[in-house]
Amino acid sequence: MQEYCSPVSKEASRAAAIDALMIDAERLAQLLDVSVSLVRKMDRSGKIPAPLKLGSCVRWRVDEIAAWVRADCPDRQRWAKMREAALGAGGRLVAPSSTMQRQCSGVAA
């Protein structure tokens, strides 16, 4: 059986990634406009939010990646503190405010 593939633009691919709730390393790389190997390297070194594991599948939440980018891409440890503060503040994941960012970095507000 022959498989038919239609060419997909980079923009359409990014739009599809944004519409999904969770994405794999390949779609994350497309969304961030980097290589898959860089996504994996950033994951190993703690430079991106921690992925979720669904059985043997590794996935990132699109809403978390979007909030992480809006927060200027902090490393995983700092992001975890910022995320916790944001979730505690309103129960919804949003880009943390500058006040929350200062509190998480140990600087007095």
Condensed to tens digits (0 to 9), the pLDDT of residues 26-76 reads: 999 999 999 999 999 999 999 999 999 989 999 999 999 999 999 999 999
The DSSP 8-state label assigned to residue 102 in this structure reads H
Average pLDDT over residues 79-101: 67
pTM of the model: 0.66
- Tokens 């994951």, located at residue: 43
Residue 5 has pLDDT above 50, yes or no: no
pLDDT cut 90: percent of the chain above it? 54
Residue 2 has pLDDT above 60, yes or no: no
Structure tokens belonging to residue 94: 């949003």
Sheet holding 22-23, edge to edge: 22-23, 57-61, 52-54
Instruction: Report CA torsion sign: 65, 67, 68, 70.
Output: positive
